[in-house]
A and B are shown apart, each in its own frame.
Chain A
């Protein structure tokens, strides 16, 4: 059973995960197109204004206070400045989501055995504490979804499914580490949950992982991070 779970089953979930993400990236490029650059032949003074806007240079900087003000205004335009609590929580959540599976001692041994990759790990107690923090954050999201009116009004089963699929590997990993119930059974369930999460990423709303990067860096719009070289295709 164990050999199957960390052999063919792991290979299968990795293949589905990678192929699924690749398909989503392909899909993104098929529903977007390269954007013509009309600002290239604007009159000179207009072009200067556009360039200033791109570089965010409206404000004359004469003192340190101006720099602070500029950053304050910048921040106010983003989710970080508008919803600082929720932003901090979600940054902690997503950082741990990527970090914890990589630095877990148990995983590191597996990776070393399989691929000969040895990554740095954190001590078992640190990982364990952070896992507990992560689980608390998962419950914070769950309660928020149930009790905050605006979030509840757009929640359906798919949102609870995504939360469950994301939380399950951490909860079961925690249980395995503490040898709650039968260790072997819990570990098997943990591995299955971890693999299900990988499989679920391309097919549930967890697909926001590649989408976020593609949309906010490649699409040209007010909130983009990058230069914005593409736009959505209309009327396909």
Chain B
């Protein structure tokens, strides 16, 4: 299949197929929300659900698997925030069922990067500006 709107679904598909266990993780996650409180970013952002470990994995890598790699550019841009800014890959999240989440978020980053979606360190968003004022 050709590159559509700056996204190469075949390449995404190839990368997804390399991690069969992650597809299994996504199908066994019982969406219980017990991993939430083990993430310090979740706890320190007023318990905003979008910082919850399984939210970040399900709405990035999970979405790619569900759509079999056929995600749009816009969707990748939305994931960018989740996988680069809302997780620091500290690997502290605790899942009672035995799912390993940081690996999934790291792989979602990898796939985003393969499509030219990556963190821009000189990005000026409100949070950064606020931080600069404190320095």
Contact = CB atoms under 8 A, between A and B. Distances in A.
Q: Do A and B come from one complex?
A: yes
Interface stretch (A8-16, A131-139, A211-219): A211-219
A79 B94 contact: yes
Contacts of B50: 153
Contacts of A149: 47, 49
B21 A32 contact: yes
Given A27-B24, A31-B20, A154 B54 contact: yes
A212 B98 contact: yes
Contact of B21 (A78, A162, A233): A233
A223 B94 contact: yes
Interface stretch (B4-12, B28-36, B71-79, B119-127): B28-36
Contacts of A145: 31
Interface residues of A, number: 38
B31 A154 contact: yes
Contacts of B94: 78-79, 82, 223
Interface string A86-112: 100010000000000000000000000
Interface in B15-31: 17-21, 24, 27-31
A211 B97 contact: yes
Contacts of A155: 31
A154 B49 CA distance: 9
Contacts of A90: 32
Interface string A224-236: 0000000011111
B29 A232 contact: no
Chain A binding site: helix, strand, loop or mixed by DSSP? helix
Interface in A184-215: 205, 207-208, 211-212, 214-215
B115 interface: no
A204 B95 CA distance: 18
A145 B31 CA distance: 9
A148 interface: yes
A83 interface: yes
Contact of B98 (A27, A162, A216, A234): A216
B40 to A, nearest CB: 13
A154 B99 CA distance: 15
B31 A221 contact: no
Nearest to A152: B49
B52 interface: yes
A83 B43 CA distance: 14
B55 interface: yes
B51 to A, nearest CB: 9
B29 A205 contact: yes
Nearest to A82: B37
Q: Which 10 A-B residue pairings sit nearest by Cβ, starting from the closest?
A: A215-B98, A153-B49, A151-B33, A216-B98, A232-B21, A154-B31, A150-B33, A31-B21, A211-B28, A150-B36
Interface of B: 17-21, 24, 27-34, 36-38, 42, 47, 49-50, 52, 54-55, 58, 94-100, 103
